[in-house]
Chains A and B, each alone.
Chain A
């Protein structure tokens, strides 16, 4: 060993040892200084706008009640994984958790969430009828209320009015219309503007992006008895349309997620897209978007729009349940929802906030969004949803990349869903 024979110089060695000791010292200090936390609430949230909103609310709450609220944020899949781990580990690390609405059935059935309906009843609090009914519906599992709606998300559809006018196209009413328009515009512009953009990343993105088309053709994931029903003529037709649309979409959409969709929209590279409300504000902001004022925001064609609300719930392991509920109610109060809508851009869940004049002035498409929300339909309320979503994602993505034909993909998806849900 040359190193042994020569040895590092003594000073270097001493320096390293000192550094190591200091670092361990800091480590131990940091570890123990965290052991005795002051009274505080820990919130686990989806990163981005929604977490920003909670941070603003947390500061106000601290000013008002003197309780420190720590907001920790994670990406979509990471958030789901960590919540399901906590449902098993029960470390009690979180007091308030944010959930995508399709997750609720799973977490509620695992006994992870506090029955908020019962808590409210004991305190003599009514659920305000101002909340849009569809957003309250997705907080329920087997009739019990396990969460309250924080973000009033619903899928919308945007199209370029200038291009539609140029080619004399009407607003699309069906997905066949969308396909026709995509082809016309893509060919008319010699491929310089894409007709449609797909959010094709494997996982939640591709499923939520395909479902409106799937529903638009009348297909369903499960039938009224809860049995899988994806392998159907309507389903195959929908998937074929999805693949047709890909011909008029930018290359690489198989890996597109929201930032790519936003970039494609803001740069004027696409004529149409399914969008979530959070992407719309910047679309009409001339500083960020080249197409400000040229786009129309409307409901997706073909079927009732998909609700994608984000909910706030309380884990049964929380040691501060009453305080947690108090914080949730504070965040969802009318004033706070208005503040968060105006300052951060969190879509509200109260009808009155959508119709508020200040809010409407800033977000002119809000009445459309409110209508969409009132009519919205949820994804199936299945305890196994995340697994169902993974299976759908897997096969839709295989069809999208051309590995499987639409028939094969849905047939295989059907078989696997039967294993998970029971044929």
Chain B
């Protein structure tokens, strides 16, 4: 579309500028805050650029609060959860897309998976707690990886189902004609053909697990095993006006997400909206 009138162009320009400012400003402000000393944070009028930029907040976070411990925990849990989901999910999605289930079971399965993805996580937290407890997996990162399958597995199955349906059948048939089994065909031909898609799904699941808070709060007890979201929630209560450190911890915990988002950007912009409608 194009604009037609001059007033229209001005309104258009204002809307875009406002949207951009609204999105960027909080991030800008927090980045600035994280480089301020504690007294400057409380200064009137607020300073748009730090008067004496300092790395003190980050140094404290790394050396005093050992923030890397929590980042490593989040990394272990999110890669673990995403990898497990990818393994189980690609099998299931392949089965559904290529082999199919009798009658309308396949569709039913997909709908069922969708429902699981949409129910509020708190409603099944109590039974999950007792399950993990009986398996001795409370307060372990492995337990959290398993619990996160509630979020990541349905998501993975849905996305991969779409991808598998999009891969041309000819490639697979060629392999089957050559005498490969279904599993061999999947591993040797189809998965390599859709590798970029697999990485995208893996990264999206990782982001989802990295960002998760509720289950990490409930199922992890030792501070040594906290993920970043739980420790930032703790800092919110602790550093009520020690904002430099709070801001720094937020920046550190979102950097990996930003880096990962860079890889899946195209997909998020085109694909997520698309699946949102198809789901």
Contacts and interface: CB of A to CB of B under 8 A. Distances in A.
A and B: real partners? yes
Interface of A: 1-4, 7-8, 12-13, 16-17, 20, 23-24, 26-27, 30-31, 34, 42, 44, 47-48, 70, 72-78, 82, 85-86, 89, 91, 93-94, 257-260, 263
Contact of B223 (A8, A17, A44): A44
Interface residues of B, number: 41
B126 to A, nearest CB: 12
A20 B202 contact: yes
Interface string B189-228: 0000011110110110000000000000000011110000
Nearest to B236: A75
Contact of B139 (A70, A91, A263): A91
Contact of B79 (A24, A34, A86): A24
A92 B240 CA distance: 31
A257 B241 CA distance: 10
Contacts, number: 102
23 contacts: A2-B271, A3-B266, A3-B270, A3-B271, A4-B167, A4-B194, A4-B197, A7-B195, A12-B263, A16-B263, A20-B202, A27-B79, A30-B72, A44-B223, A72-B224, A74-B234, A75-B237, A78-B234, A78-B237, A91-B221, A91-B222, A93-B222, A263-B241
Contacts of B203: 16
B247 interface: no
Contacts of A78: 233-234, 237
B80 interface: yes
B163 A2 contact: no
A8 B222 contact: no
B170 interface: no
B121 interface: no
B238 A75 contact: yes
A69 to B, nearest CB: 14
Contacts of A258: 240
B241 A260 contact: yes
Nearest to A257: B240
Contacts of B72: 26-27, 30
Interface string B249-276: 0000000000000010011001100000
Contact of B166 (A4, A8, A12, A73): A4
Given A82-B221, A93-B221, A257-B240, A2 B79 contact: no
Nearest to A48: B238
A20 B200 CA distance: 13
Contacts of A89: 133, 138-139, 221
Contact of B80 (A24, A34, A91, A94): A24
Contacts of A70: 224
A91 B79 contact: no
B42 A1 contact: no
B36 interface: no
Nearest to A201: B240
A73 B133 contact: no
B76 A27 contact: yes
Nearest to B165: A1
A77 B166 CA distance: 50
